Amino acid sequence: MGNWMIVPVVLPAVMAALTVLAVRHDLVLQRVFSAATVLALLAVSVALVFHAAHTGPEMYALGNWPTPFGIVLVLDRLSAMMVLLTSILAAIVWFYSAREWDKRGKHFHALFQFQLMGVNGAFLTGDFFNLFVFFEVLLIASYGLMLHGAGENRLKAGMQYIVVNLTGSSLFLIGVGLIYAVTGTLNMADLALKVPLVPDSDLALLKAGALILFLVFCIKAAMVPMHFWLPGTYANAPAPVAALFAIMTKVGAYSILRLYSLAFGGSAGDLSWLVAPYLLPAAIVTLVVGMVGVLAARQLNRMVAFAVVGSMGTMMISVSLFTPDSVAAGLYYMLHSTFAGAAMFLVADLIISRRGQYGGSLNSAPDIRQSGLIAVMFFMAAIAMASLPPLSGFLGKLQILSAARESQYAVWIWVVILGTSFLNIVGFGRAGSVLFWKSSAVEGEIQTASDQAFPKQTVIAAGMMLAMLVALTVFAGPITGYLHDTSAELFDTTDYIRAVMGADTPVAEITTVAPFAQ
């Protein structure tokens, strides 16, 4: 079964090429090809999760080249879970986009498949050069998806997004070059073996390369002060694209977790837990900036985008403690925030498309059609974004607060998380009041481009995204158990390293206590 880990990378790549070459003029066939791909990915990713849970880390060598010289994919609990998360998100986004959004520009489904190839490849790759390659694949596809349907605001935001990510790509190559110059390898498992052996004279150069990569991953994860690209990009992107982009920031977070627990974790000697002193303050500021942005926003999509920034701060606060409990809590919150952000973008599109000339502005307007149903969906998504009970966000934050109790910064973490939660509640509560309660008393007529017939497909898709939050809540017990096993696997890197480098590979002693854990 481990050989199937190549499918999440190869299948969308092949299907994207076939879509462009064979059916680019037939939208119906494009939809069929795309649907078949996402359903197959969903089935394979479920199987991979069960396989990783029962067998532990496993390596696939492309071309059968020996490690660390060849290209390798590595499947473990974390990478399998991330591929499954991507597949679920992609299936719902496809269903939403297939009603109308894919008609608004060319090659939507081909770009969509290339995006999935890049994201899945980033989660499965076992070396940093190919992480860079998959980053570029997903970014190039995201440029096209971001500009899908054109528009002046979208073009401006897209240009900023492109410039920022090209800068990040340049820094990525510099960081990778420095690490390779010192260690002679970019294989993640091999790097974990060689970092503790680097002589003192080269430590500064290795540290510089590792911190440059940290900066790159912070750009991808929209961490302050590299977050500025996200609000404009996500707010102006097509709704299904913005929902799919909910996984994009998680690629940056995954990369931080993977590199700095494996190669610069407990077995890295003088460079153990290298980024912990920088990650916690950056995460706290990111959370504050995101929630202040929610409170200050005057456009619905922009408010949701700032909420995504804030959710990344919450997640990375938990990760930055680098303890098994805190990482497990952060992973649970990551699952929640991905579905919550995606659901909110889809619900926001349902609202904006019905408000005609009023658009996404948070001003009172006449009642929209299906206002009762959409109001229920909005408040359910808002409860999720604000992490209120009874949905999974509340459970995620409880886990994070519990994991932070033993930290020397526990008081700061509790105050910031609880205080910003209040800002989030006020921001979304005000938005809901303006959009639905106050608008019910406004007289007038909304001018729309269509008759706004009941949009069954889009409403069902948004409902499916909300249903995933309910599923995370109902099945919180087994999911949390899986995540605790995943976290334990991240901290005890022995199995991962031996899966890649060989069963008899000697592994350095591991220190499991990070600087901020006490």
**Helices (H), strands (E): how many in the chain?**
20, 2
Q: What's the confidence (pLDDT) of residue 451? A: 42
User: What count of other Cβ atoms lies within 10 Å of the Cβ of residue 160?
Assistant: 14
Q: What value, to the nearest 5°, has the Cα angle with vertex 335 and ends 293 and 282?
A: 45
Q: Is 25 helix (H, G, I), strand (E, B) or coil?
A: coil
What is the rounded CA–CA span in Å between residue 14 and residue 37?
Answer: 10
What is the rounded CA–CA span in Å between residue 514 and residue 185?
Answer: 25
Q: What's the confidence (pLDDT) of residue 518? A: 47
Token pair belonging to 229:
């690209």
Q: Is 362 helix (H, G, I), strand (E, B) or coil?
A: coil
What is the rounded CA–CA span in Å between residue 130 and residue 256?
Answer: 16
104-150 pLDDT per residue, tens? 777 899 999 999 999 999 999 999 889 999 999 999 999 888 887 66
What is the Cα gyration radius of the chain? Answer: 22
* Residue type for position 280: L
Burial of 99 (0-12, 13-18, 19+ CB in 10 A): middle
Q: With both helix axes pointing from N to C terminus, report the angle between 7-22 and 108-124 in degrees, rounded to the nearest 10.
A: 160
63 Rama class: left (phi>0) / alpha (psi -120 to 50) / beta: left
Q: Is 62 helix (H, G, I), strand (E, B) or coil?
A: strand
Q: Find tokens 């998360």 and name the residue.
A: 85
For residues 469 and 336, the answer to whether their CB atoms sit within 8 Å is: yes
For residues 44 and 7, the answer to whether their CB atoms sit within 8 Å is: yes
Q: What's the confidence (pLDDT) of residue 511? A: 52
Q: What's the confidence (pLDDT) of residue 291? A: 96
Stretch (H or E) spanning 429: helix 410-432
Q: Point out the residues of the chain with pLDDT beneath 70.
A: 1-2, 149-152, 369-370, 439-455, 508-518
Asked whether the CA dihedral 113, 119, 121, 124 is positive or negative, the reply is negative
443 Rama class: left (phi>0) / alpha (psi -120 to 50) / beta: beta
For residues 61 and 70, the answer to whether their CB atoms sit within 8 Å is: yes
Q: What value, to the nearest 5°, has the Cα angle with vertex 341 and ends 335 and 347?
A: 135
Q: DSSP assignment of 224-282, as one string?
A: TTS-THHHHHHHHS-HHHHHHGGGHHHHHHHHHHHHHHHTSSTTSGGGTTTTHHHHHHH
What is the rounded CA–CA span in Å between residue 158 and residue 407?
Answer: 40
CA 515 to mean position of chain CA atoms: 26
Token pair belonging to 267:
């077995």
Contacts of 479 (CB under 8 A, 6+ apart): 332, 335, 472
User: What count of other Cβ atoms lies within 10 Å of the Cβ of residue 295?
Assistant: 17
Token pair belonging to 21:
């070459």
Q: What's the confidence (pLDDT) of residue 18? A: 92
CA 70 to mean position of chain CA atoms: 28
Structural domain spans, the chain: 2-446+454-501
What is the rounded CA–CA span in Å between residue 325 and residue 490?
Answer: 12
The beta-carbon contacts of 357-360 under 8 Å, at least 24 apart in sequence, are: 357/446, 357/447, 358/446, 359/299, 360/299, 360/300, 360/301, 360/302
Q: Find tokens 């409170």 and name the residue.
A: 295
Q: DSSP assignment of 289-357, as one string?
A: HHHHHHHH--BHHHHHHHHHHHHHHHHHHHHHT--HHHHHHHHHHHHHHHHHHHHHHHHHHHHHTTSGG
For residues 336 and 396, the answer to whether their CB atoms sit within 8 Å is: yes
Q: Is 59 helix (H, G, I), strand (E, B) or coil?
A: strand
502 Rama class: left (phi>0) / alpha (psi -120 to 50) / beta: left
Predicted TM-score (pTM) above 0.75: yes
Q: What's the confidence (pLDDT) of residue 371? A: 73
Tally of CA atoms within 13 A in the half-sphere of 75 that contains its CB: 29
What is the rounded CA–CA span in Å between residue 347 and residue 246?
Answer: 14
